[in-house]
Chains A and B, each alone.
Chain A
Amino acid sequence: MDEVHVAAPPRRSLGAWLLIAVPYFWLFLFFLAPFLIVFKISLSQTAIAIPPYVPTFDLAEGWQAFTDSLSEFSLENYVWLTEDALYWKSYVSSVSIAAVSTFLTLLIGYPIAYGMARSPQSWRPTLLMLVILPFWTSFLIRVYAWIGILKNEGLLNQLLLSLGLISEPLVILNTNLAVYIGIVYSYLPFLVLPLYASLERLDGTLLEAAEDLGCPSWKAFWKITVPLSLPGVIAGCFLVFIPAVGEFVIPDLLGGSDTLMIGKTLWVEFFNNRDWPVSSAVAVILLLILVIPIVLFQNQQQKMAEKEG
């Protein structure tokens, strides 16, 4: 096949168009369109009604009613977000908690992925399975399991007290430390898997060559292994960082009342205060913060897919 042939879009039968149309339409309706609605409602005002916001569109009322309702839109909710310190503090602390946890996950995940890649071929399927298995078990259960371990009269404190390492229980549950532990624990497989994939593909002869030339092994690791595993590191870090910013379950169950995370703020705004327009505005801003990492992640995924294909 020559170059021109590849570049030209192929002719498609009706069936092939349908193949594209069905998932496209589904995602458009249930993924993209809802964002437009969120954006619309973020410009609306709170009301004591069902649904609890005005204006609502009713296309049956005609064009005039439609344009009238447009004039009722305002940026009020966004102004409100800048005025109340709770919101921007939540954003800042979400991003910083997610960044710290991502770094800690990398710190713990790298040696695991590295150990897996260096293990004998026959161990690898089992090790891989062991990393994937927790990923299949319920997220909620895994977070819940930590409550029993971390609380004041929990298993960790009991162990440390009986060993005589501490004289009074450590307060870990309901602090940011517990949130870090929860995020690292829950997202570890997401980081280890892509990292292992790129470490496993690494050409061992490069390291042998470096060794033959008298390079100490730590230096070979730093100069060869680390740079070549970078795509895996980046993919893994995105997979941890992006969802962690909007995490709700972990800060809610493990964090304290002073643990501000935007996912929790949004939840409270929606379910407790029933303020749909403000929670929509919170979601829009969160999306704006995440749009850059998401686009970067996607480009990287595409690049990796092309390399494989």
Chain B
Amino acid sequence: MTRGPTWFNITSLVVGFSFLYLPIVLLVIYSFNESRLVTVWGGFSTKWYVSLLQNDQLLDAAWVTLRVAFTSATIATVLGTLAALVLVRSGRFIGRSLFSGMIFAPLVMPEVILGLSLLLLFVAMDTARGFWTVMLAHTTFAMCYVAVVVQSRLVGFDKSVEEAAEDLGCPPVKTFFLVTLPIILPGVIAGWMLAFTLSLDDLVIASFTTGPGATTLPMKIYSQVRLGVTPEINAVCTILVALVTLGVIAASIATKRQQVQRERDERAAFGDG
């Protein structure tokens, strides 16, 4: 559709985006509130951020969460990329529909079911629960998101480039690293970031699969939120939102720049630039 927007369109965009952003903006504003009463404005202050730095429990939880997110996102990206290659490239094989089912089902599966089932698996395997079990659980559901993101990149992929490399005698593994991976890299990076934030964010699955000594930040936030809204929690949330926003914006600028660069290279290569 290429026709211009009407007043109705513009209004619905403005209303829609205010709805999406207003709650987060208010949360950020009130994290700078002097007053302990979260809904009464008592002047500007950064004292809640200072008190955060002295909250060891919260900092510990944040450190656990970052480690889990980093490890699980990395493994999930490798597995998810493999899974995407299987979905797009492997054609038919026995159990293919089961395979694609196992990729798509976790995307919509209620978290309580995923969490419960993984916990029961870990109990059955007699594994000590903690960092590793949360990490494995996060890897499993995040790899499905990675697979879907990378798959969409692979679908629009010009296969002739790969075939050319193989015709010139490049072995498949080398072709993958030299030709395929650089082209699908934006998808892989986006997949990693998605996996990272999903893990950073997850409360339910982590609560089921964790053990002593591995309390994640969302679990900590959740237990405090149940007691009520506090400016400290607003401050934690603001930091998380800021980090994610910066990350996403940086990544999109990087992708854009890379795209522009590649288009320029292509034009130069074809000599009409």
Determine if B23 and A185 form an interchain contact, defined as CB atoms under 8 angstroms apart: yes
A117 proximity list for chain B (CB < 8 A): 1
The answer, yes or no, to whether A118 is at the interface (CB within 8 Å) is: yes
- The distance from the CB of B104 to the nearest CB of chain A, in whole angstroms, is 5
Determine if B1 and A199 form an interchain contact, defined as CB atoms under 8 angstroms apart: yes
In the complex, A109 Cα to B15 Cα: how many Å?
Answer: 11
| Residues of B116-146 contacting chain A, CB below 8 A | 116-118, 120-121, 123-124, 136-137, 139-140, 143-144
The closest CB in chain B to the CB of A238 belongs to: B108
In the complex, A23 Cα to B144 Cα: how many Å?
Answer: 10
The closest CB in chain B to the CB of A148 belongs to: B229
The answer, yes or no, to whether A139 is at the interface (CB within 8 Å) is: yes
Interface centre among B111, B120, B200, by most chain A C-beta atoms within 10 angstroms, is: B120
Determine if A35 and B117 form an interchain contact, defined as CB atoms under 8 angstroms apart: yes
A selection of 30 A-B contacts at a CB cut-off of 8 Å is A9-B91, A9-B92, A15-B172, A20-B86, A22-B82, A23-B143, A27-B99, A30-B140, A37-B117, A108-B19, A111-B9, A111-B12, A115-B10, A118-B6, A134-B21, A138-B201, A140-B225, A141-B24, A144-B229, A151-B39, A154-B39, A188-B16, A189-B20, A248-B110, A248-B112, A249-B203, A270-B116, A271-B207, A290-B109, A297-B108
In the complex, A51 Cα to B111 Cα: how many Å?
Answer: 22
Q: A140-B221, A148-B39, A283-B117 are in contact. Are A115 and B111 (CB under 8 A)?
A: no
Which 3 pairs from chain A and chain B are nearest by CB?
Answer: A246-B110, A34-B117, A111-B12
Determine if B1 and A204 form an interchain contact, defined as CB atoms under 8 angstroms apart: yes
A141 proximity list for chain B (CB < 8 A): 24, 27, 221, 237, 240-241
In the complex, A136 Cα to B198 Cα: how many Å?
Answer: 8
B106 proximity list for chain A (CB < 8 A): 31
Determine if B24 and A137 form an interchain contact, defined as CB atoms under 8 angstroms apart: yes
The answer, yes or no, to whether A273 is at the interface (CB within 8 Å) is: no
The answer, yes or no, to whether A294 is at the interface (CB within 8 Å) is: yes
Determine if A32 and B91 form an interchain contact, defined as CB atoms under 8 angstroms apart: no
In the complex, A92 Cα to B150 Cα: how many Å?
Answer: 37
A200 proximity list for chain B (CB < 8 A): 1
Q: A119-B13, A297-B108 are in contact. Are A26 and B79 (CB under 8 A)?
A: yes
In the complex, A302 Cα to B69 Cα: how many Å?
Answer: 30
Looking at chain B's contact residues, is the secondary structure mostly helix, strand, loop, or mixed?
helix
In the complex, A232 Cα to B68 Cα: how many Å?
Answer: 34
Determine if A136 and B197 form an interchain contact, defined as CB atoms under 8 angstroms apart: yes
| Residues of A265-309 contacting chain B, CB below 8 A | 266-267, 270-271, 276, 279-280, 283, 286-287, 290, 294, 297-298, 301-302, 305, 308-309
A99 proximity list for chain B (CB < 8 A): none
In the complex, A19 Cα to B101 Cα: how many Å?
Answer: 17
In the complex, A31 Cα to B21 Cα: how many Å?
Answer: 35
The answer, yes or no, to whether A80 is at the interface (CB within 8 Å) is: no
The answer, yes or no, to whether B252 is at the interface (CB within 8 Å) is: yes
B: contact size bracket: 35 or more
**What 1/0 mask marks residues of chain B from 70 to 105 whose CB sits below 8 Å from any chain A CB?**
000000000110110110101111010001111111
A290 proximity list for chain B (CB < 8 A): 108-110
Determine if B13 and A248 form an interchain contact, defined as CB atoms under 8 angstroms apart: no
| Residues of A22-54 contacting chain B, CB below 8 A | 22-24, 26-28, 30-35, 37-38, 41, 51
Determine if B118 and A30 form an interchain contact, defined as CB atoms under 8 angstroms apart: yes
Contact of A22 among B79, B207, B221, B252 (CB under 8 A): B79
A151 proximity list for chain B (CB < 8 A): 39, 229
Determine if A155 and B39 form an interchain contact, defined as CB atoms under 8 angstroms apart: yes
The answer, yes or no, to whether A253 is at the interface (CB within 8 Å) is: yes
Binds B, one of A61-69, A70-78, A82-90, A123-131: A123-131
Q: A24-B99, A138-B218 are in contact. Are A37 and B120 (CB under 8 A)?
A: yes
| Residues of B38-54 contacting chain A, CB below 8 A | 38-39
Q: A37-B117, A185-B19 are in contact. Are A115 and B79 (CB under 8 A)?
A: no
The answer, yes or no, to whether A178 is at the interface (CB within 8 Å) is: no
| Residues of A136-169 contacting chain B, CB below 8 A | 136-142, 144-149, 151, 153-155, 158
- The distance from the CB of B159 to the nearest CB of chain A, in whole angstroms, is 11
- The distance from the CB of A132 to the nearest CB of chain B, in whole angstroms, is 8
- The distance from the CB of A169 to the nearest CB of chain B, in whole angstroms, is 11
A257 proximity list for chain B (CB < 8 A): none
B26 proximity list for chain A (CB < 8 A): 145, 148-149, 155
Determine if A34 and B229 form an interchain contact, defined as CB atoms under 8 angstroms apart: no
Determine if B248 and A133 form an interchain contact, defined as CB atoms under 8 angstroms apart: yes
B117 proximity list for chain A (CB < 8 A): 34-35, 37-38, 283
Q: A34-B118, A115-B9 are in contact. Are A287 and B24 (CB under 8 A)?
A: no
Contact of A118 among B9, B104, B118 (CB under 8 A): B9
In the complex, A146 Cα to B16 Cα: how many Å?
Answer: 16
B100 proximity list for chain A (CB < 8 A): 298, 302
Determine if A279 and B99 form an interchain contact, defined as CB atoms under 8 angstroms apart: no
Interface centre among A115, A202, A309, by most chain B C-beta atoms within 10 angstroms, is: A115
In the complex, A84 Cα to B219 Cα: how many Å?
Answer: 31
- The distance from the CB of B2 to the nearest CB of chain A, in whole angstroms, is 5
The answer, yes or no, to whether A112 is at the interface (CB within 8 Å) is: yes
Determine if A32 and B244 form an interchain contact, defined as CB atoms under 8 angstroms apart: no
A279 proximity list for chain B (CB < 8 A): 116
Determine if B1 and A118 form an interchain contact, defined as CB atoms under 8 angstroms apart: yes
Q: A35-B117, A302-B100 are in contact. Are A137 and B244 (CB under 8 A)?
A: yes
